[in-house]
Amino acid sequence: MQKKIVVRLLTVLLMATSISGFAKEASKVAAQGGDTKAERKQEVKDYVAHHLLDSHDFGLYSYTDDSGEVHHVGFPLPIILWDGGLKVFSSSKFHHGETVAEVDGNYYKIDHAKIYKTDATGTLNYDEDGHATNAKPLDLSITKGVFMMLLTSILMILLFKGLASSYAKNGGIAKGVGRFFEPIVLYIRDDIAIANIGEKKYKKYMPFLLTVFFFIWFLNMFGLTPLGVNVTGNIAITTALALIVFLITTFTGTKDYWKHIFDPLGDGMPWAGKIFIYIILVPIEILGLFIKPFALLIRLYANMTAGHVVLGSLIGLIYIFQNWIGGTLSFGLAFAISLIEILVALLQAYIFTMLAALYFGFASETHDHAEEHEGEIAHL
């Protein structure tokens, strides 16, 4: 009973801090101008779009003092550029994108979370669509998204190293925080890995399945906090995860797996009779190899991005309406969506892991023709 109460309190606290984080940022945006409702709508739209972008510094929050000066609270991250040589410096040189950074006689400026080369005045040239046309150096920086991935990786190493040590010391019984994660690990093993891959071959895929599940889940949960991180809402991240699934599926595929792709009808029909069918069927099977990982990356990216957009927009409605009726309704809807987002964060990690296991099961499938023949005889 006490554990249930603690979980509920933590859930409410997470939602309250998440909404308050959105509210503080949105109030700052609204305070900078916007006397008309149209101006306030545009400011909220700009805020939501800015929230979805990665950044080169880690901002916790910001506030405006009585004199109107904006103060940012956070810490800088390392900027690593390749521009005729390696350039390493602190993101504090940009002063949150407000100034030009000078490094070894070169000048750089941030625009929409991207770094461009410029001159001492910080002039950027734009095309008809509003995109900067200045040269861009190769950016290898530790951005906020990269920082959160490193932090999540360290957290997972410490957490599961402790869980493994607890198993070893207590005869296969988890202690402490491991008691919470043990049922999840067992569920992934029994109901995802074994159910989709098979008891004989699931073990070689388990490290990846466990890693990708908790990695996505933890990043999704961090995205619900006021830290302002949206890692799984970055299509580059979801593409990398889907690419790993594609490579594992491709390089662990058995002879029967590839035979099913290039000879889906099997040996029961002569080639002369099925050649015309294969002209259409085989290209579809090959296309399916790329559609599967594409579906993985789009599903995770779209769902997590949509959640952040909806939540930020609902909070922004408080400052668009600026009355107690609209504010109360917006806050209530935002709180309800935040509760749903907790479920979505876990659900998206589960779906990605489940589909990955399903693809691995297809790739590792083998057919014992002798056993199939014996089964047909027994059936007769």
* CA distance between the termini of the chain: 58
Nearest CA to 135 out of 57, 55, 99, 81 is that of 81
In the predicted structure, residue 159 carries a pLDDT above the cut 60: yes
- What are 332's two structure tokens? 């209530």
Tell whether pTM > 0.75: yes
Confidence class of residue 9 from pLDDT cuts 50, 70 and 90? Answer: very low
Write down the pLDDT at residue 118.
92
Write down the pLDDT at residue 156.
93
More confident site: 238 or 36: 238
Write down the pLDDT at residue 272.
63
- What are 284's two structure tokens? 């579809």
Write down the pLDDT at residue 356.
96
Residue identified by tokens 């940022």 is 25
Write down the pLDDT at residue 334.
82
Tell me what the mean pLDDT of segment 156-171 comes to. Answer: 84
Write down the pLDDT at residue 1.
45
Write down the pLDDT at residue 29.
46
Q: Is 167 helix (H, G, I), strand (E, B) or coil?
A: helix
Tell me what the mean pLDDT of segment 280-287 comes to. Answer: 88
Distance of alpha carbon 207 from alpha carbon 357, whole angstroms: 12
- What are 161's two structure tokens? 């190293």
96 phi-psi bin (left φ>0, alpha ψ -120 to 50, beta other): left
Cβ contact 77:91 at 8 Å: yes
In the predicted structure, residue 120 carries a pLDDT above the cut 50: yes
Tell me what the mean pLDDT of segment 255-279 comes to. Answer: 76
32 phi-psi bin (left φ>0, alpha ψ -120 to 50, beta other): alpha
Kindly list the distances between the CA atom of residue 239 and the CA atoms of 164, 265, 288, 297, in Å, as whole numbers in the listed order: 30, 32, 16, 5
Tell me how long the chain is.
Answer: 380
Q: Which of 99-113, 204-218, 236-250 has the lowest mean pLDDT?
A: 99-113
Nearest CA to 226 out of 20, 53, 27 is that of 20
Q: Is 116 helix (H, G, I), strand (E, B) or coil?
A: strand
Write down the pLDDT at residue 335.
85
pLDDT per residue as tens digits for the range 71-82? 777 888 999 999
In the predicted structure, residue 116 carries a pLDDT above the cut 90: yes
